[in-house]
Structure formats: C-alpha cells, structure tokens
Structure 1
Amino acid sequence: MGKILITPRGYAKYGDEAGKRLEELGYELNVNRSGLPLSREQFVESAKEATGIIVGVDECDEALLKQCKDLKAIVKFGVGVDNIDLDAAKALDISVGRCVGTNSNAVAEYTIGLMFAASRHIVAAGCDVRSGGWKKPTGVELYGKTVGIIGFGNIGKHVARIANGIGMKVLVYDVFDIKQEDLDTYNAKSTNVEDIIVNSDFITLHVPLNDETKNMISTKEFRQMKKSACVINAARGGVVDEKALYEALKNGDIFASASDVFTSEPPERTDWVNELIAMDNFILTPHIGSRSEESEINTVNKATDIMIELLENHD
C-alpha cells in the first residue's frame, strides 16, 4: 500500500493506537521517534519514499514535493499550513488536509495564560527570585478590561469564552462575516481592526500567516495603541513586526507583550533580538501553545482520520 512518514513528536508519543489503524490498512509507518526534529536531509530522504506524510513544522516546499513521486497526501499535524506549498501540491495532485479545531482550547487557554503572565510580571518576577532577588512589581488585572480578538475562528471563540468568565469586555474582528448568534453566544461586539488597536487593553491575534497578515501589527499600530496595552501573539511569527515590537516596548509605546511564536524559530540571536528577549515586559515561549496532552491526542486521531480519508479518495 505504501509508506506513511510521520514527523511530529506528538504522534510518536501518543499515536501508537491510531497508527495501528494505518498499519491494518496495509501501510508501513516511518515515525520519527528520535525525540528531535528531523534534519532537512533526513526529511527529504524519507519523504521521497512516502505515499502520505503527517507533518509538523517540516518544510514541504516545491523542491521537496517534486522529488516525492509516490506522494498522494499530506496532513498538517495542526492548523497552519504556511510550511506547505499548496500551489505546488495542487499542481502535483497531492491532497492536503489539516487538523482544524483539535488544539483550539489548548491555544486559547495558553493565550489567556500569557495575558495573566504579561499583566502581572509573572515570568520576570519568578526569574528574579530564582536569581536571588525579591522585587515586587505592580501589575494590572484582567477583570473589567477590553480584549480585542483579531481572528474569530475556533481559537478566537474559545478565548472569548474564557475572557467572558474573567469579566472582560470582548471586541472581535474576522475577515469573514461573523454570525449574530456567535456574537450573542460569546457576548462579543464585532468591529474593525483599527477599533481594536485603538481601544483594547489586550490585543490577541489568531490569524494565519499570509501576504495580507504579514506584519499586520507594526509601528503604525503600536503608536495607535494605549500605552497600557498588552499584545499577545500565539498565532504565527511574522504577523507581528518583531523589530517594531522591540522599538515599541523600548520606547514605552505599549505596556507589555507575550508571544509563543517568532519569525525564525528558534530566533536568530541578533543584538536587538537578544535585547527584546531580555526585556522584563516581553515574554517569548517556544511555540508550545498547542502542546497539551489532550490536544496532542485529539490531533493524532484527527490526522489519522484525515490521512485515511485523503488516501481512500485519491484518484
């Protein structure tokens, strides 16, 4: 039947039962069990022999796809497909699927966690104590504040649900029309990006990275924000202009920022990046917003279901 290459470490840890379903259909599994990301060379060599690939962050670009003569399907172990060349895949008759909704709650909870951490200096204070200090910075509460959610899909809706429970006011924007019933369900007001930028205390992004969203938050937007604003990015690196963010934090244009993503991961440690990461009012975590046990298991099962469906339906 062919080989299925599986690169995400979450599948290696939680996917034994789901993998048996593929094996029962006659597929041979090539699962990355090293505990480390595959090198580009390792990924290319394995991909060239694959009928299907369940992929994490590995780059499925045109150069690679053209070498995969037997490849029929790629399933993203997650939602964002910016590491998959969709046009090349279509031209080569390779079906592409993604696991929508499986990690939405995990990312939403993490987003709220970053809000608490940034607003109350939790990371900087903890590091200070660890190094022998005992400073007592004063932060701000989330209750009664306005959160602006840019991108009101599955994750954005979960953020709104939790924010309502905290007692926050919720502004939302999406490129697609938002149903009134969703606004009512999440006690949210639909508005535009500029209104969110100008009037929100917390701004959180839940959009894909594409030509329209690249650097959608940059110098102009930071200067329009409240000086007390906190910007959260648990979406994709590059949605926020990180050099402009560095300048905004350095100049006191905004209060704080927390990000689970960066344009290059791990970041290229230039002088300004090192300064940004060292700032007490900036938090950077290593793209772990979706990494809960529950979401990993959900994604394993969904990725397996989609792979089976795509291979069965492939001409």
Structure 2
Amino acid sequence: MGKILITPRGYAKYGEEYKKQLEAAGYEVDWNDTGKPVPREVFVEKAKEAEGIIVGVDSCNRELLLQCKNLKSIVKFGIGVDNIDLPTCEEMGIKVGRCVGTNSNAVAELTVGMMFACARDLVSNAMDVKNHEWVKPTGFELYGKKVGIIGFGNIGKHVARMANGIGMQVYCYDAFPVKQEVLDEYHATFTTVEDILKNCDFISLHVPLTEETKDMISTEEFKMMKKTAVLVNAARGGIVNEHAIYEALKNGEVKAVASDVWTTEPPKDEDWIQELLAMKNFILTAHIASRSQEAEINTVKRSTEVMLDNLM
C-alpha cells in the first residue's frame, strides 16, 4: 500500500471526506493533525517513504528529493511552487501539481482590505484606541483612484473585479499577453510596470517569486512612485526588497506599504526590522491571505483531485 503524506494543517481541519477518498483509492494517509507545523526532521523521514506528498510551505529541495525513492507526485497546497525543486522533480520523474484558483478570491479580498486599511490608517488607529489614545487621522477614498495590478492572473483579475466595484481606475501588466476581450471584461487598461509605478495610487503585486521577479520592487522603483502611493504585496516575500521598504517609508517616499509575506517568516529580530514593524504606515500580516474557510475547503478538494490524477 502506497503512502501519501499531507503536511498542511488546513487539510486535516477540513479534509476528512477527502482523506477517505485517498484511502478508498488504496493509499495509507499520514496527515498532520497536530495543529502545528511538521518539524523538519520528521518531514524528511516521512517523505522518504511517501509515494505522494501534499505540501504547504515545507521545503522539497534537491537534498530531500534524492532520498525519496518512492515519490511519484508532489501537490502544492496552494499555487506558488518556489519551495519545490522543479528541475530535480523533472529529473526524477516526479509529477508536480498546484491548486490553481482555489484561493484566488481570498487573496484578492485581503489585498483590497489592505488598500482600505492603508488609505484610512485603520490598523494604527485601532491600536491607538487600544492604547487609550483618541486620534482622528484624515485618510482618503479608493473611489476614483488608479490601481495598478502587476500580474494579471486569477488573483489579479479578482482584484480588478473588486476595484471596479469600488469605482477605481484599473491598470494592469502581465508578462504574458492579455487579450483585449479580457481587458474589456475587467475594464482594465494594459500598460507597463514603469507606468504603473509612476502613475498609480495603489500598486498590487501578484507575480510568482522567480529569478526575474526577485527584488523587482526595490530602491529605484520606490523612488519612481508617488509620495501618496500605497504598495500591497500578497504574493511572495522577496519580490519586494524589504530593506528598501524600510528606507522608502523612513524617507517619506510613499504613503504606506502592506505585505502579507516576508522573505524569512516570521521576520528576523533585527533592529531595522523592528523599527519598520513599529511604523504606523507599514502593515505586515502572517501570510494569511489564502486562509479563508472557503479557500481551505477548495484547496483540500483540488489537492486531492490532482494527487489522484497524478498517481493514476
């Protein structure tokens, strides 16, 4: 009987029905129902025996994969596969699957929520009140503002849909051509990254982390933005240079930055990072954009389907 290892906590929370499907297909399922991340040494030992792995953030690097002699399939419990060594998987004949679209709406909703939070100083003002301070900042509305969406895939399109409902002007860029009928559907204007950086009031990132996108927003890009601009990153840590965020906010180059991701999660305890976290115009959440109940259930279902397809 082949073994399937499942590490994401969300699968154990919502996946009893789908675990039974895997077992009915003849597999022994070893899932993480501890409510805690799987320790690396435990993950390594279990992965060595697995025929399939449904993985969250655990690193499936070359060193690990070469020890997995039975492994036929890895399914990412989400979209980004930057924690999976794809060339080694190809070399070893390991199929890699993703759960495209299952959490797109959840990520988009958090993205737009970040825009509102930055525009109206919601986080800092709520903290002020908790600290018995009654401060009344004057923010600005999203209606009529320009939003630039860099990466016009599933998530970017959902952001555009919501932005249209708010009454924003939507601009987008993608590395791949976007058909005019798609642009028309989302009332979006295709443009360049430079144009978005220079002219948009809100800039939202929805690209994968690759060699090409690493540090795509850094010191030079911040200097191109409006001083009133808000940058939101709900994609991947490393796409925005984090020390450049610190410098840009410290120097007043942009109004605010909100991020759901960080290069090393949680952030390291360094002085400049602690200073950044204390800034009222910086928001960092704990990589929760995809963590809605609806998205978790969608992803459990899809990851099961992809795993069974890959193992057939």
TM-score by length of 1: 0.98
| Partner residue, 2:20 | 20
| Partner residue, 2:76 | 76
TM-fit CA distance, 1:136: 1.0
Instruction: Give the whole-Å Cα distance in 2 for the aligned partners of 1:159 and 1:146.
Output: 13
| Partner residue, 1:140 | 140
Instruction: Give the whole-Å Cα distance in 1 for the aligned partners of 2:196 and 2:269.
Output: 32
| Partner residue, 2:269 | 269
TM-fit CA distance, 1:131: 1.4
| Partner residue, 2:30 | 30
| Partner residue, 1:204 | 204
TM-fit CA distance, 1:138: 1.2
| Partner residue, 2:49 | 49
Quick one: which amino acid aligns to residue 109 of structure 1? E
TM-fit CA distance, 1:105: 0.4
Quick one: which amino acid aligns to residue 232 of structure 1? V
Give unmatched runs, 5+ long, in structure 1: none
| Partner residue, 2:240 | 240
Corresponding residue SS for 1:152: coil
Correspondence list, 1:154-169, <5 A: 154-169=154-169
Quick one: which amino acid aligns to residue 102 of structure 2? T
Instruction: Give the whole-Å Cα distance in 1 for the aligned partners of 2:38 and 2:268.
Output: 19
| Partner residue, 1:230 | 230
TM-fit CA distance, 1:208: 0.2
Quick one: which amino acid aligns to residue 178 of structure 2? I
Corresponding residue SS for 1:257: strand
Instruction: Give the whole-Å Cα distance in 2 for the aligned partners of 1:54 and 1:118.
Output: 35
Cα displacement string for residues 34-75 of structure 1 (whole angstroms, at most 9, x for unaligned residues): 111111101101111100000000000000001111010000
Corresponding residue SS for 2:29: strand
| Partner residue, 1:40 | 40
Cα displacement string for residues 111-161 of structure 1 (whole angstroms, at most 9, x for unaligned residues): 000000111110101111111111111111100000000000000000000
Instruction: Give the whole-Å Cα distance in 1 for the aligned partners of 2:158 and 2:71.
Output: 35
Corresponding residue SS for 1:307: helix
Correspondence list, 1:172-183, <5 A: 172-183=172-183
Instruction: Give the whole-Å Cα distance in 1 for the aligned partners of 2:119 and 2:82.
Output: 31
Corresponding residue SS for 1:203: strand
| Partner residue, 1:188 | 188
Instruction: Give the whole-Å Cα distance in 1 for the aligned partners of 2:43 and 2:220.
Output: 40
Q: Which segment is superposed worse, 135-144 or 301-310?
A: 135-144
TM-fit CA distance, 1:289: 0.3
Instruction: Give the whole-Å Cα distance in 2 for the aligned partners of 1:269 and 1:185.
Output: 45
Cα displacement string for residues 64-96 of structure 1 (whole angstroms, at most 9, x for unaligned residues): 001111010000000000000000111111110
| Partner residue, 1:119 | 119
Aligned length: 312
Instruction: Give the whole-Å Cα distance in 2 for the aligned partners of 1:137 and 1:42.
Output: 49
- Could you list the structure 1 runs, at least 4 aligned residues long, displaced by more than 6 angstroms after superposition: none
| Partner residue, 2:255 | 255
Instruction: Give the whole-Å Cα distance in 1 for the aligned partners of 2:67 and 2:124.
Output: 47
Is residue 278 of structure 2 the alignment partner of residue 278 of structure 1? yes
Q: CA RMSD in A?
A: 0.5
Corresponding residue SS for 2:36: coil
Corresponding residue SS for 2:311: helix
Instruction: Give the whole-Å Cα distance in 1 for the aligned partners of 2:125 and 2:292.
Output: 25
Give unmatched runs, 5+ long, in structure 2: none
Corresponding residue SS for 1:108: helix
Quick one: which amino acid aligns to residue 64 of structure 2? L
